[in-house]
Amino acid sequence: MGLAIAGTRHDGDTSHLHAYLTYKDRVQQLIVAAGHRAVCEIGGGRKPLFTPQEVSHLDLDYTIMDISQEELDHAPPGYQTLCADVCTPPATTSMERFDLVFSVYLAEHVTDGATMHRNVHAMLRPGGQAFHYFPTLFSPAFVLNRLLPDGLTHLAKGLLDPRERGRPKFPARYSKCFGPTARMRQLFTDLGYQIEAYEPFYGTDYFRKIPVVAQVDGWMTDWAARRRNPHLTSYVFVTLRKPRRPGIVN
């Protein structure tokens, strides 16, 4: 289904719940459709997206990359691991090594989004793909998360969603975490990517226990979703490709 935003692709459902329920399927579709074998999950830590059984079934050479060795030490056995910061230059052994590099709920935590995407580009083999699923500004919930102190937002998340209690709270910086605006599309193009899909999703669950705020947020979400507004997204799927020949971008 085509969108009003040029260069995006979507199956028609723009709800944040749809994004949450389908992101793993989307990554698996990329793997199967392209026959990717060397796959790197950035930020997988102790809980990679694909189980060892799924990795074996898909016949993958699967690497978990995380900034924390402690998190990697808690990962199930059977994975290759790489302790590194995606915002520092990749090791020579990681350059042009992977067919697919992907991240889920990672981009909002990095110190420099442009550097992250530049380094992922260096990690990809020519013709390889990158996929990222992350929350975006200027969704009201994430604007608050960005502006308020970490301790306060962590407390608020625990009160609004008991499932969040006891989970670690990583700083949310939202560097280059925006919807499919012209500026973001230009960033990816300038980094040498082809943009295969930049899919917007709208709404969150964060205000559901505050009725008046939830109603206002719902009105805003409906308005933005109907217009496919690229500035008021809540989440996005971004699918990128490193061209086989340098300089060949869309």
For 216, the token pair is 């206002």
Helix or strand holding residue 40 (H, E): strand 38-42
For residue 68, what are its two tokens?
Answer: 């924390």
Q: Where are the alpha helices (DSSP H) in 195-249?
A: 211-226
Reply yes or no on whether the pLDDT at 249 is more than 90: no
Do the Cβ atoms of 192 and 150 come closer than 8 Å? no
Residues 105 and 170 sit within 8 Å (Cβ to Cβ): no
**Do the beta carbons of residue 121 and residue 193 sit within 8 Å?**
yes
The token pair at 77 is 């056995």
Contacts of 169 (CB under 8 A, 6+ apart): 150, 153, 154, 157
pLDDT, tens digit (0-9, with 9 covering 90-100), for 203-228: 999 888 889 999 999 999 999 999 99
User: In this structure, what DSSP letter does residue 202 have?
Assistant: B
Total residues belonging to the chain: 250
120 burial type by CB count under 10 A (0-12 exposed, 13-18 middle, 19+ buried): buried
Per-residue pLDDT, 149? 67
Cα separation, 87 vs 77, whole angstroms? 26
Percent of the chain with pLDDT over 90: 74
Residue 162 pLDDT class (50, 70, 90 cuts): low
Distance of alpha carbon 228 from alpha carbon 145, whole angstroms: 23
User: Alpha-carbon distance 236 to 247, whole Å?
Assistant: 26
The domains of the chain, with CATH numbers, are: 16-136+174-205+230-241 (3.40.50.150)
pLDDT of residue 12: 80
**Pair type for strands 61-66 and 38-42:** parallel
pLDDT, one tens digit per residue, over 109-127 is: 999 999 999 999 999 999 9
Q: Which residue, chain included where needed, has tokens 């996005």? A: 236
pLDDT category of residue 165 using cuts at 50, 70 and 90: very low
Q: Residue 103 in contact with residue 41, Cβ under 8 Å?
A: yes
Confidence check: pLDDT of 50 > 90: yes
From 114, 68, 112, 118, select the one nearest 95 (Cα to Cα).
118
CA of 247: how far to CAs of 106, 121, 139, 242, 250, in Å?
A: 28, 13, 34, 10, 10
Q: Confirm whether pTM is higher than 0.85.
A: yes
